[in-house]
Chain A
Amino acid sequence: MHGVNIGWEAITVMDARDYIQEQAAGFFGDLKEWLSIPSISADPGHHGDVRASADWLAAHLRTTGFPQVEIWETGTADAPGLPAVFACWPAADPAAPTVCVYGHHDVQPVEPLSEWDFPPFEPTQIGDALLGRGASDDKGQVLLHALGLRACLAASGASAPPVTIKLLIEGEEESGSPHFAQLLAARADRLACDVIVVSDTTMWAADVPSLCTGMRGLTAAEITLRGPDTDLHSGSFGGGVPNPVHAMAALLAGLHDGDGRVTVPGFYDNVVNLTAKERELFARLPFDEKAWLADAGNSQAVAGESGYTTLERIWARPTAEINGMWGGYTGPGGKTIVPREAHAKVSFRLVADQDPAQVLAGLHEYVAAHTPRGIEAAVTSEGPGVRPSSAPMDSPAVQAGKRAVERAFGTEALFTREGGQRPGGRSRRDPGRPTGLHRGWPELRPHPRAQ
């Protein structure tokens, strides 16, 4: 399957930009070949393709010149996961810093096929856009690292990069990264680094180059309130016993105060507030609120925590969301009961330096304090949640990234964050933390399902 269209052999000193232009046709030939592998991790029927995708990438990176290329299996023998690809190219200078680049080689499902204008695994060029499943999420971003590294070598005439470069390219990102934390823990020694580059975010716009410096984390829980042993007739008991649905409504309504701030105890204790500089730079992004509202399911108005702009709310402020609530009688007609129980699912988007476990502990405390006498409350959650990640804009690594982007694009680079999260997010104040740096590219997708 693997064919390499770029001739890496000729290493001569030349301008990086000229080198890249010279290699462009071969680069896109290789990318199209990789994009034709339907590496859909969520579909067991395509797991063989995810393995083929890992094999293709490993072969490509070996051809690129990486002296260490390994396919890392995930999961267990009884319950195998899908493979990641690891590669390392040590710097000539052992004192040089080490950079680890994260990306993924699996792609999202393609259904419904009727919404595609062309077969999703037959990459198609429309204008300057290369369209196909995975083109901008995330195979294009991964593959450009190989080309960029060769361009760096061509520009210096060196046979090894100026920093040690590690690539960790996951194969399960689009299906929830079920084994990623385990993989990071098991391979911590091989992945040690000074800087992390996440090459799986979006750039603000084609003419507004940007670097993403943070992603929100996540934790979630289900709340159950129980009252009487059985549904009661309201004519006989209504008004005389606590109603779990009433209690749930009050409990959920109290999750935010009048300013839209979350009332869970200790919720904001570890939040790193935006600096004036960060707010100023966010404000310089050309943000069209009307278009954003249209993209937000034609929402009719913005809403959220007082004192913050929409971008600040969705990127850099933590939230509590009620995802669903149910209880009592919801069938046709009426049924005059005092229901025996009520349920709700809630989730919290977190920012640095919030800890998912601490937020959940605060939720337990909140629910206990807001449960009326006669009602039993239970709060359950699955998994450890995802820690937020953030890198200070003024950190040396982020500033180096800014200079690099500005050299390439010839214009000022701005900063963004993302409201979602990537697996294995770490807070910037973790002991032994590397500096995170998220680099992203605009989504090259005139069709919403073409990426």
Chain B
Amino acid sequence: MGMLLKGAEAVAYLWQELALTAEVSPGAGTR
């Protein structure tokens, strides 16, 4: 159960990290 909570936390950070990653953006060639 603790792992699921860690997973939720990782998800929260993932959205933050992706938003801060300039290379991952529409039109940057990954879509």
Interface residues of A (CB under 8 A from B): 16-17, 20-21, 24, 27-28, 31, 91, 95-99, 125, 128-130, 140-141, 143-145, 147-149, 151-152, 155-156, 161-163, 165, 192-195, 197, 203, 206, 209, 396-397, 399-401, 403-405, 407-409, 432-435, 439, 441-442, 444
Interface residues of B (CB under 8 A from A): 1-26, 28, 30-31
**Contact call B10/A405, Cβ cutoff below 8 A:** yes
What is the interface of chain B mostly: helix, strand, loop, or mixed?
helix
Cβ of A424 to closest chain B Cβ, rounded Å: 17
**Residues of A contacting B16 with CB < 8 Å?**
152, 155-156, 162, 404
**Residues of B contacting A441 with CB < 8 Å?**
3-4, 7
Known A-B contacts A97-B26, A98-B26; the reply to A195 vs B9 at CB < 8 A is no
In chain A, what residue has the closest Cβ to B22? A396
Per the bound structure, the CA–CA distance linking A206 and B3 in Å amounts to 7
Known A-B contacts A194-B31, A400-B24; the reply to A97 vs B18 at CB < 8 A is yes
**Contact call B26/A397, Cβ cutoff below 8 A:** no
- Can you report 13 residue pairs joining A to B where beta carbons are below 8 Å apart? A16-B13, A20-B5, A21-B5, A97-B25, A125-B1, A145-B8, A396-B22, A396-B30, A401-B14, A404-B11, A405-B10, A441-B7, A444-B1
Top 10 nearest A-B pairs (CB, nearest first) are A148-B11, A162-B19, A396-B23, A404-B13, A408-B10, A404-B14, A400-B17, A151-B12, A408-B9, A152-B12
Per the bound structure, the CA–CA distance linking A209 and B10 in Å amounts to 11
Per the bound structure, the CA–CA distance linking A397 and B28 in Å amounts to 12
> Which of B1, B8, B19, B25 is the one whose CB lies under 8 Å from A147?
B8
**Contact call A195/B30, Cβ cutoff below 8 A:** yes
In chain B, what residue has the closest Cβ to A206? B3
Cβ of B15 to closest chain A Cβ, rounded Å: 5
Cβ of B22 to closest chain A Cβ, rounded Å: 8
**Residues of A contacting B21 with CB < 8 Å?**
97, 396-397, 399-400
**Residues of B contacting A129 with CB < 8 Å?**
1
Cβ of B31 to closest chain A Cβ, rounded Å: 5
CB contacts between A and B, total, < 8 Å: 154
Cβ of A283 to closest chain B Cβ, rounded Å: 24
**Contact call A128/B2, Cβ cutoff below 8 A:** yes
Cβ of A170 to closest chain B Cβ, rounded Å: 19
In chain A, what residue has the closest Cβ to B10? A408
**Contact call B11/A149, Cβ cutoff below 8 A:** yes
> Which of B11, B18, B22 is the one whose CB lies under 8 Å from A145?
B11
For B4, B6, B8, B22, which residue has the most chain A Cβ atoms within 10 angstroms?
Answer: B8
**Contact call A148/B25, Cβ cutoff below 8 A:** no
Per the bound structure, the CA–CA distance linking A128 and B5 in Å amounts to 11
**Contact call B31/A144, Cβ cutoff below 8 A:** no
Known A-B contacts A194-B24, A434-B30, A435-B24; the reply to A403 vs B17 at CB < 8 A is yes
**Residues of B contacting A409 with CB < 8 Å?**
6, 10
**Residues of A contacting B22 with CB < 8 Å?**
396
**Contact call A401/B31, Cβ cutoff below 8 A:** no
**Residues of A contacting B31 with CB < 8 Å?**
98, 192-194, 432, 434
**Contact call A401/B24, Cβ cutoff below 8 A:** no
**Residues of B contacting A97 with CB < 8 Å?**
18-19, 21, 24-26, 30
**Residues of B contacting A141 with CB < 8 Å?**
4, 7
In chain B, what residue has the closest Cβ to A101? B11
**Contact call A17/B9, Cβ cutoff below 8 A:** yes
Per the bound structure, the CA–CA distance linking A240 and B23 in Å amounts to 68
**Residues of A contacting B19 with CB < 8 Å?**
91, 96-97, 162-163
**Residues of A contacting B4 with CB < 8 Å?**
27, 31, 130, 140-141, 143-144, 441
In chain B, what residue has the closest Cβ to A148? B11
**Contact call B15/A397, Cβ cutoff below 8 A:** no
Per the bound structure, the CA–CA distance linking A143 and B9 in Å amounts to 12
Per the bound structure, the CA–CA distance linking A407 and B19 in Å amounts to 16
**Residues of A contacting B26 with CB < 8 Å?**
95-98, 194
In chain B, what residue has the closest Cβ to A164? B26
Known A-B contacts A130-B1, A149-B15, A400-B18; the reply to A96 vs B30 at CB < 8 A is no
